[in-house]
């Protein structure tokens, strides 16, 4: 909450200094698949920030998300990154449920990236990043609306952990992780291969996984401006 309140003050200060105001976007993720989804990490940023790169080894901050759904290290990284405007984290989502977060962006920080783990795997996740289909919220000028579905072909393998599918390794089955695979981030993930303890009911191969909707909130600049001015007056 402190981070959001600080951003509101910054928006009001931005008007006084002539800098661009940010727009508020609602990011909704519906779990339409057979696996749960860990809390989604959503970030707005410029061209200097990235959460993962296709073909490259996952960073320690991203490994925490891809192997255990832990967004904490990535939040700390985003908090100190100059190229980040805002970030937020959703809720754990069981199949059939959804999670909603709000995120601010502006033309100087137009990209929206996100990531969420499929926890009944070793290191499978869904997500978009800077060079891997990150959403450009200002691609046509004004704030843009997105509505799309991610299928099994959009599920990534972080390449950071062997796909043993053993209960002792898989977080969704109470495991603590398996040996380092030493590979890079690749897509698509092969799905559940039946080589360990993960049952076929968790095999996402051939299924849709998540439905994403990103909506710019009309008039949010004005509302944030008023809130920011009130906060400044109270100070």
Task: Report how far residue 80's alpha carbon sits from residue 197's, in angstroms, rounded to the nearest whole number.
Answer: 39
Contact 202, 35 (CB under 8 A): yes
Nearest to 129 by CA among 230, 44, 61: 44
Rounded CA-CA distance 93/116 in Å is 10
76: which DSSP letter?
H
pLDDT tens per residue, range 73-119: 999 999 999 999 999 999 999 999 999 999 999 999 999 999 999 99
- Rg, the chain, Cα only: 19
How many other CB atoms are found less than 10 A from the CB of residue 73? 15
Task: Look at phi and psi of residue 191 and say left if phi exceeds 0, alpha if psi is from -120 to 50, else beta.
Answer: left
| Inter-residue contact 81 to 59 (CB < 8 Å) | no
**What pLDDT does 9 receive?**
39
Residues with pLDDT less than 70, the chain:
1-20, 219-235
What per-residue confidence (pLDDT) applies to 20? 58
Residue 180: the pLDDT is 86
Can you list the domains of the chain with their CATH numbers? 23-217 (2.60.40.2130)
Q: What is the pTM of this model?
A: 0.86
């Amino acid at each position: 909450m402190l981070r959001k309140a600080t951003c509101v003050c910054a928006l009001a200060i931005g008007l006084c200094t002539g800098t661009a105001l940010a727009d508020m976007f609602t990011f909704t993720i519906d779990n339409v698949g057979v696996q749960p989804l860990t809390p989604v990490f959503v970030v707005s940023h410029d061209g200097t920030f990235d959460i993962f790169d296709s073909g490259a080894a996952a960073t320690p901050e991203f490994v925490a998300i891809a192997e255990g759904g832990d967004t904490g290290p990535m939040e700390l990284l985003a908090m100190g990154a100059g190229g980040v405007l805002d970030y937020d984290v959703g809720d754990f989502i069981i199949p059939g449920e959804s999670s909603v977060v709000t995120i601010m962006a502006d033309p100087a920080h137009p990209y929206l990236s996100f990531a969420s783990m499929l926890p009944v795997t070793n290191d499978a996740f869904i997500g978009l990043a800077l060079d891997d289909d990150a959403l450009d919220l200002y691609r046509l000028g004004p704030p843009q609306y997105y509505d799309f579905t991610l299928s099994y072909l959009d599920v990534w393998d972080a390449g950071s952990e062997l796909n043993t599918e053993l209960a002792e390794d898989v977080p969704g089955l109470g495991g603590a992780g398996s040996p380092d695979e030493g590979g890079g981030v690749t897509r698509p993930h092969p799905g559940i291969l039946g080589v360990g303890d993960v049952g076929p009911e968790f095999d996402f191969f051939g299924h849709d996984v998540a439905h994403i909707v990103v909506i710019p909130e009309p008039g949010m600049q004005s509302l944030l401006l008023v809130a920011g001015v009130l906060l400044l007056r109270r100070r």
